[in-house]
Amino acid sequence: MMVEIFCDGACSGNPGVGGYGSILRCGGKEKELSGADGATTNNRMEMSAAIAGLEALNRPCEVVLTTDSQYLVKGMTEWLPGWQKRGWVNSKKEPVVNRDLWERLVELTKVHKVRWVWVRGHNGHPENERCDELARAAIVNFRNG
C-alpha cells in the first residue's frame, strides 16, 4: 500500500514550546495528526511529526514522506550510516543529538519502506502549509492547557 505523509514541526523559542503536524493520505482518504511538547526544539518536533505519521500506519507500507526539514531528510538519507558505524557519534566526535528519535525512526523504517522528500518550507506547498498550521495550533492548545 502506498501512503503519502506530509509533516512539519514548529517551536516557539528554540528550545521552547513546540508542536508538530502530519497529514496522512492513502486511497483518497486523509488523516491529520498533531501534538505538542512543553520543552523541546524545532528539530525534535520535525522528527516527532515524521514519527507520528509512521506510527499511525497499521501495517507495513510504502511511504513517500515529505518534509521541509533538511535535518530530517539528510539525517535519514546521508548521515545515519556514519553515525551508526561510529556508535552514534557524529563527524565532530560528539554524541548524536536526538539519538532517541533517530533510533525510533530507524525502527520504523524497518517496518515501512520510506522515500524521504524535501520541499522548501513556507513556499506555498499546500500540505506543508497545512502541517505548519497544525503544528502552530498544537502550540497554542498546549499553552491554553
Q: Is 8 annotated as a binding residue?
A: yes
pLDDT of residue 2: 95
CA dihedral 35, 67, 71, 143 (to 10 degrees): -20
In percent, how much of the chain has pLDDT > 70?
100
Q: Of 68, 75, 112, 127, which one is the catalytic site residue?
A: 68
CA 52, CA 25: separation in Å to the nearest integer?
14
CA 55, CA 70: separation in Å to the nearest integer?
21
Q: Is 68 annotated as a binding residue?
A: yes
Helix and strand totals (H; E) in the chain: 5, 5
Looking at the domain covering 2-144, what would its CATH class be?
Answer: alpha beta
Q: Of 18, 19, 21, 46, which one is the catalytic site residue?
A: 46
pLDDT of residue 145: 86
pLDDT of residue 1: 80
pLDDT of residue 19: 98
pLDDT interval class at 21 (50, 70, 90) = very high
Q: Of 13, 62, 82, 122, which one is the catalytic site residue?
A: 122
**pLDDT tens digit sequence for 73-126:** 999 999 999 999 999 999 999 999 999 999 999 999 999 999 999 999 989 999
Assess whether 87 carries a catalytic annotation. Answer: no
CA dihedral 29, 60, 112, 30 (to 10 degrees): 10
Assess whether 9 carries a catalytic annotation. Answer: yes
Compute CA distances 127 → 65, 82, 85, 112, whole Å: 11, 32, 35, 21
DSSP E strands in the chain: the ranges are 2-12, 16-26, 29-40, 62-67, 113-118
pLDDT of residue 49: 98
Write out the three cell numbers for 47. 522528527
Question: Residue ranges of the domains in the chain?
Answer: 2-144
pLDDT above 90: residue 38: yes
Assess whether 37 carries a catalytic annotation. Answer: no
Q: Whole-number mean pLDDT of the chain?
A: 97
Whole-model pTM: value is 0.97
